[in-house]
Structures are given as C-alpha cells and as structure tokens.
Amino acid sequence: MAVETELKLHISPDKLQRLKRHPLLRSLAIERARTLKLYSIYYDTADLALQRNAMALRLRRVGKQWLQTLKGGGRSSAGLHQRNEWEMPVPAEQLDLDAFKLVGGKLPHGVRNHLQPVFVTDFTRNVRLLDFEGAQIELCMDSGEIRAGQSMCPISELELELISGSPQQLFGLALKLLEIVPLEVEHTSKAEYGYRLFSASRPEVSKGRFAVLKPSQDVGSALQTLVASCLSHIQANVAGALLKLDEEYLHQVRVGLRRLRVVLSVTRRFHPDPELEVLYSQVSGLCIELGRARDWDVFLSQTLAPICARLPEHEGLRALLGTCERMRNKQHAGMESSLASQDFQRLLLRFGAWMHAERSDDPQPPLERFVRKILDKRSKQVLATGRAVSIKEPAQFHALRIACKKLRYSLEMFGSLLPQNRYKAYQERLAVLQDILGTMNDIAVAHRLLDELDNAARHDTLALVRGWMEHDYAEHITLFNKNWARFEAQTKCW
C-alpha cells in the first residue's frame, strides 16, 4: 500500500496551454515531459456501496497496459488529497480482485459479485517531473472528460503529486504557478465528479462540524486538526454558493469562516506566528464582507418580508422592499467576487503551506488543561459581561453576544473531549441565549440599515418599520432576562 499525496487545482483550458509553454516549468524540469492517454473505468454496485464507504475502484488503460487501483480512507484539506492506494498491473481489461487481497486492499463485504461500470474518465495527461526547492514533484496537466451514460463534464486540471520532500512544497509550487495563470484549489476528485454525473446529483450542502479530538493529541496537533476541518467545511460550500444553487451554501461558507476565525484566534495566542497573523487578518476581512451581505439577507427575510406580508397594499413598503433587494444584490455581488477571486485561492494555498510547515519541538501543555483554561476564560467573559448589561445600552448586549459566540464555538471546538451529557445540556442553554441575543443584534443592525436609506420620501414608511422592530426588541428583552437567569445558574461542563 502507498499513501498518495497530491494537490489538485482547476485551470481553464486556454490557461492550461499557456502554462505548458511557460519557461518556469522548463527551468524546474528533471526530465523530458511525457504525454499519456489515460482511459479509466470506475466500478461500483448499483446502490454505490463503494462510494458510501469512501472508496474508489478503477481499471485504467495507459498506452497498452492495464492497471487496477483501489483507493480508500485518507483526507482532503486546502486541496491536498491524501489517500491509501493499492495499484497493480493486470493482463487485460478485467478486474482481478484477489490480487488486492494479497497486498492488503479489502473491499466491503458483499460487494465483489455486484460490481458494474458506473462512469469513465478519458483524458490526456502531460507529465513533468520537477525539482522545486529540493522536493521532487510530479506535475500532471490533465485535459479531457468524464462520462456517465449520456452525461459529460470536462476535465481541465493540474495534479501536483509529492514524490519526495514535504507537502508544504506542493503549496509553494502552486503559489508560484498562481503567479503565472489563474487557478482554483480543487476540493473534488475526478471520481466524485463522476459519481455526481452517474446519480445526476449536485454537491450537497456541507454542514461541517469540528473534528473529533483525542485526549492524547498535543495542543498544536489538535489546533491544526480544527483548522483543517474548518477549511474543508468552507471549500465544500464555495462552489454551490458561487453557482447560487441554494442560499444555504453561502450561509455555510459564513459559518465556516466564523469558526475558522475563532480557531485562529486561539491558535495565534498559543503559537504566535507572522504568517498566521496575516491569515487571521484576511479571514477576519472576509468575515466582515460576508457579514454585510448577511445583514441585508436577515433584514429582508426576517423583518421586512413579514411586515410586507401583513400590509401587502402598502406602496411605501413595496418600494422599500425593492430598494433593499437591490442593496442586498449589490452586497452579494461583492461577496461572490471575493470568493471567486485569485486572492481567495491564494489564501487557501497559503493556509495549506502554513499547516504543513515544520514546527518546533518545544514542550506543550496537556490538551485537557489547555482546553479548561480556554473555556474558563471564555465563560468568565460571558458572566462578567452579562451581569453588567443595561437595557438602555444596546452596545452591551452586542458585546455579550460576541462573548457568547466565542464561548459556544470554543465549546464546539473541544466538545469531543467533554462529558457528553453535561456538554449538551450546557450548550443547549447557551445556544438559546445566543439566538435571543442574535435576534436583538439583528434588530439593532436593521436600525442602522434604515439610517442608510432614510430620506424625506421614506420617512413615514421607515417609522412604521422601526415601530414594528421596537416591539419585537422589547419581547426579546423579556426572553433574555428569563434565559439569562437559567444560564447563569448552571454549572460548568468541563
């Protein structure tokens, strides 16, 4: 068994031809480029048992030679795919499943006699072995298509496979290539695209969760695991957000970025690092930009739309609704531009390089003690802020909401290390409190948005909306008082 380590990048066909001719590749080449014609048949059962087990089985023709490959396990983060791989030649266009057994490759029980072709990949691969900063990297430039029945999708991508050296150098090379041509970090493998074609499905919304941690992990390893899970969550939803398949994709990108910012906030205090400071600053900037789009989304859906539904004949409200929709669309266009930009791709690649950089072997505190320290600090911030709030000071409720959010995300980060019954009960009460504070903050933000729209022609309409919101705010103050008392009375879960 080998562990395949490769970085996948999408590239447009015209830029692929430009990259092939660039002098940088010639300057790094160890040997002459080779061009291969690769035709692969992927097998699975009718109910896709291999896909459900995160495995892929293919038969590939390379020239006149047939190879069979079984892939399984592994992980993907910031475009880096690491999977267990069992590959061997076979004499003809026929699987030899017994041969996998001899080298430790095992198929799920009951699959063997029910395999059938599900899709094929047919592409040309230009292969170059490069020496980049002492690492040997195989650069594969692929161009062709994936077919499943009558459906087809194009292939135009780069694969940077690590032959020797550090995974960090894959990202370093990718950043060099990004200076030459536009690239997109590819979260999805050819096999995953093939399965989507076969089942006529679109990418599912990923409601990512923080990774499960082990008490035996050191602090640095645990934090890196959490960063990786946040990046995977974000990347899994970006394509759906840009294609506007559903509003939930964008919401999950926001959630992923907010979680990532909290993890980085903890990490930068544990291990100060100039590169991490840059990454943290850029993630914070994205959170602010996406937050502006969310503000208009929430105002339209949760405040203005219900009022318009109650008063459908009100011309002022209908005009205000149209204006707000245009403002929201403008914010969305800016957000989509940021997620589609090369700066965003560069950010992902820099994260990958940072995550695989060598770290010092300095002694680290036990993970459980580190977690208790973090949660104690976050909890004290919530209690101190909550006990000082005044109904007449909305800014204090905003500060409490931020403190609650940091505590909630910190609990979710380390929840797998806590006693589950106590953790869930504590988290539920905190979630209720945070939701109430979130609604109160949305109302405060809505007042600010109305200030941006205020003019003489809209004055009466805006006054109507403000009155509606003030009534809602008063109801949530009552809810807050009741739920704060419950939260304050409970004991810690760590």
C-alpha–C-alpha distance, residues 142 and 11, integer Å: 10
**CATH class as words, domain 365-494:** mainly alpha
Whether pTM exceeds 0.75: yes
- Output the average pLDDT for the chain: 93
Distances, alpha carbon 33 to alpha carbons 131, 232, 331, 459, in Å: 13, 33, 46, 70
Query: What are 395-419's pLDDT values in tens digits?
Result: 999 999 999 999 999 999 999 999 9
Domain boundaries in the chain?
2-201, 208-363, 365-494
Confidence class for position 1, pLDDT limits 50, 70, 90: low
DSSP 117-151: EEEEEEEEEEEEEEEETTEEEEEEEEEEEEEETTE
Residue 362 main-chain phi, psi, to 5 deg: -65, 145
Same fold, 208-363 and 365-494: yes
Question: With contact defined as beta carbons under 8 Å apart, do 414 and 375 qualify?
Answer: yes
Output 427-431 pairs: Cβ under 8 A, ≥24 positions apart.
427/493, 429/483, 429/486, 429/487, 429/490, 430/404, 430/487
Question: With contact defined as beta carbons under 8 Å apart, do 36 and 125 qualify?
Answer: yes
**Exposed / middle / buried, residue 430 (Cβ in 10 Å: 0-12, 13-18, 19+):** buried
The pLDDT of residue 183 is 97
The pLDDT of residue 84 is 87
Query: What are 197-207's pLDDT values in tens digits?
Result: 999 988 889 99
C-alpha–C-alpha distance, residues 123 and 312, integer Å: 56
H helix or E strand, kind and range, residue 317: helix 315-339
Query: What are 412-465's pLDDT values in tens digits?
Result: 999 999 999 999 999 999 999 999 999 999 999 999 999 999 888 899 999 999
**Exposed / middle / buried, residue 448 (Cβ in 10 Å: 0-12, 13-18, 19+):** exposed
Which is the CATH superfamily of the domain at 208-363? Answer: CHAD domain (1.40.20.10)
The pair of structure tokens assigned to 266 is 């903890």
The residue with tokens 């035996």 is 216
Question: Largest Cα–Cα distance of the chain, in whole Å?
Answer: 82
pLDDT at residue 38 greater than cutoff 70 = yes
H helix or E strand, kind and range, residue 159: strand 151-164
Confidence class for position 245, pLDDT limits 50, 70, 90: confident
C-alpha–C-alpha distance, residues 493 and 340, integer Å: 41
Number of residues written out for the chain: 494
Query: What are 285-329's pLDDT values in tens digits?
Result: 999 999 898 899 999 999 999 999 999 999 999 999 999 999 999
Query: What's domain 2-201's architecture?
Result: Beta Barrel (2.40)
> Over the range 395-409, which residues count as b (16 or more CB within 10 Å of their CB) and which as e?
eebbbbbebbbbbbb
